[in-house]
Amino acid sequence: MKILIALLILVGLGIGVYAYNGQISGNTGTPSSETNTPSSTNTAGLISADYSNRGLTKFPADILSKTRTQALDLSRNALTGAMPAEIRFLQDLEVLNISNNDMTGLPAELGQLKKLRILNASNNRLTGIPRELGDLSNLQVLDLSGNDISKQDLDAIRARLPSSTRIIL
């Protein structure tokens, strides 16, 4: 059942919505032409911020002050470099979708997000990933497909993750 829920969540992330325990919450707001204000939803207790498909080239700093955020969608932008280390302030984060960007690195501080269950970093330009991802004891799905991940890094992380974690390459 947990695998089915995780797959539903992952599929939902792939199409730009979040599926959570059978509830679907998507982009209910209209993006402003002058700002990159996310749409936010609170369905079934899930607080989400949707910055997907906004043409962003930099990580939106304002999200770092929204510490109650549980689902963050930054997919389908033009983000480069790595996420800021301050991502660690989002201690309630359960779902993070940074797919379909041009990111080249993930910060080691991601390993501090103990509630993280889904990490979709597919279709970026990642080659190495921090070994601290192995500290994510609640991680159910790690999607790294469409990247050129170092086998050595991946093996070190896989050895520390729960055996039930589904790694997609």
- CATH, domain range 38-168: 3.80.10.10
Contact status, residue 94 vs residue 115, Cβ threshold 8 Å: yes
Q: pLDDT at position 33, please?
A: 31
Q: pLDDT at position 80, please?
A: 96
Lowest mean pLDDT among 4-13, 36-45, 90-99: 4-13
Contact status, residue 81 vs residue 57, Cβ threshold 8 Å: no
Q: pLDDT at position 143, please?
A: 98
pLDDT of 14 > 60? The answer is no
pLDDT of 13 > 80? The answer is no
Over residues 133-149, mean pLDDT: 98
Lowest mean pLDDT among 11-15, 31-35, 95-99, 149-153: 31-35
Q: pLDDT at position 142, please?
A: 98
**Bigger pLDDT: 131 vs 1:** 131
Contact status, residue 155 vs residue 133, Cβ threshold 8 Å: no
Encode pLDDT of 90-122 as tens digits.
999 999 999 999 999 999 999 999 999 999 999
Over residues 121-139, mean pLDDT: 97
Taking CA atoms, 13 is separated from 39, 98, 120, 129, 148, in Å, by 15, 10, 8, 21, 21
Q: Reading across the β-sheet that carries 46-50, which strands appear in turn?
A: 39-43, 46-50, 71-73, 95-97, 118-120, 141-143, 166-168
Question: The pTM is what?
Answer: 0.78
Element (H, E) at 32: none
Q: pLDDT at position 22, please?
A: 30
Encode pLDDT of 64-81 as tens digits.
999 999 999 999 999 999
Q: To 5 degrees, how large is the angle CA 50–CA 142–CA 8? A: 60
Over residues 141-152, mean pLDDT: 96
